């Protein structure tokens, strides 16, 4: 996988994960163009499209679009299920996840993604194991008084 983007129906990027080295400028351009392309598509259309030199797999969950760019030889259907598994992980962790959870806890969304996918490949596909790793990390945090302004 080359990258994964999460964006809202209004086209606001909520999460971006890049697995290939690209400059900041290129990333911005790709996200802008791709978000536009996908938002212009109708609901019943196919989840796959050829976009520039990439194969795009995307799916909409409520107000959020999850979109992956994969290589030519990659399997589209299994990528679609990667997206679904990630949604399940977020859902389980946050307890019926919504867009706001991802906005306010963006760092958690990144941590969960890193446990599930690394370098663009599936690292651990078991839902239990991923969540176990995240819960363990949460346990490592000590309780703090919230004293900041």
Partner 1 sequence: MPAVSKGDGMRGLAVFISDIRNCKSKEAEIKRINKELANIRSKFKGDKALDGYSKKKYVCKLLFIFLLGHDIDFGHMEAVNLLSSNKYTEKQIGYLFISVLVNSNSELIRLINNAIKNDLSSRNPTFMCLALHCIANVGSREMAEAFAGEIPRILVAGDTMDSVKQSAALCLLRLYKASPDLVLMGEWTSRVVHLLNDQHMGVVTAAISLITCLSSKNPDEFKTCVSLAVSRLSRIVSSASTDLQDYTYYFVPAPWLSCKLLRLLQCYPPPEDGAVKGRLVECLETILNKAQEPPKSKKVQHSNAKNAILFEAISLIIHYDSEPNLLVRACNQLGQFLQHRETNLRYLALESMCTLASSEFSHEAVKTHIETVINALKTERDVSVRQRAADLLYAMCDRSNAKQIVAEMLSYLETADYSIREEMVLKVAILAEKYAVDYSWYVDTILNLIRIAGDYVSEEVWYRVIQIVINRDDVQGYAAKTVFEALQAPACHENMVKVGGYILGEFGNLIAGDPRSSPLVQFNLLHSKFHLCSVPTRALLLSAYIKFINLFPETKATIQEVLRSDSQIRNSDVELQQRAVEYLKLSSIASTDVLATVLEEMPPFPERESSILAKLKKKKGPGAVSVELEDGKERGELNGGGDRGGDAAIAASNASTPSPSADLLGLRSAAPVSGAAPSAGSLLVDVFSEAGPAAASAGVNDDGFLRFVCKNNGVLFENQLLQIGIKSEYRQNLGRMYLFYGNKTSVQFVSFSTTVSCPGELQSQLNVQTKTVEPLVEGGAQVQQVINIECLTDFVDAPLLNIKFRYGGALQNISLKLPVTINKFFQPTEMAAADFFQRWKQLSQPQQEAQKIFKASHGMDTEVLKAKLLGLGTALLENVDPNPENYVCAGVIQTKAQQVGCLLRLEPNAQAQVRTRARAHTQMYMHTHTQMYMHIHTQSPSVLLCAALIASLTAVCVFLCAAANQAWRAGNTQLALFSLALFLSHSPPLSFTPFFHFLIHFSPHIDSTLSH
Q: Rounded to 5 degrees, what are φ and ψ at 28?
A: -65, -40
At its nearest, how many Å lie between partner 1 and the CB of residue 89?
12
Binding mask 35-54 for partner 1 (x = CB under 8 A): -------x-xxxxxxx-xxx
62 binds partner 1 (CB under 8 A): no
> 54 — phi, psi (to 5°)?
-115, 160
The residues in 81-120 that bind partner 1, with binding defined as CB under 8 A, are 81-82, 84-85, 93-95, 98, 100-101, 103-108, 110-111, 114, 118-120
Taking the complex as a whole, the smallest distance from the CB of residue 81 to partner 1 amounts, in Å, to 5
The window from 3-11, 17-25, 60-68 that contacts partner 1 (CB under 8 A) reads 17-25
* Binding site residues, partner 1, CB under 8 A: 13, 16, 19-21, 28, 42, 44-50, 52-55, 71-73, 75-78, 80-82, 84-85, 93-95, 98, 100-101, 103-108, 110-111, 114, 118-129, 133, 136-138, 140-144, 146, 148-149
């Amino acid at each position: 996988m080359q990258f994964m983007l999460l964006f809202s129906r209004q086209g606001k990027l909520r999460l971006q994960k890049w697995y290939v080295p690209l400059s900041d400028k290129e990333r911005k351009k790709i996200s802008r163009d791709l978000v536009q392309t996908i938002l212009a598509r109708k609901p019943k259309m196919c989840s796959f499209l050829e976009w520039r030199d990439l194969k795009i797999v995307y799916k909409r969950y409520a107000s959020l679009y999850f979109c992956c760019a994969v290589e030519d030889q990659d399997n589209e259907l299994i990528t679609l299920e990667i997206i679904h598994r990630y949604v399940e992980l977020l859902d389980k962790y946050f307890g019926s996840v919504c867009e706001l959870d991802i906005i306010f806890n963006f760092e958690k969304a990144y941590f969960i993604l890193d446990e599930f996918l690394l370098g663009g490949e599936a690292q651990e596909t078991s839902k239990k194991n991923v969540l176990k790793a995240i819960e363990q990390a949460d346990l490592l945090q000590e309780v703090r008084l919230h004293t900041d302004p």
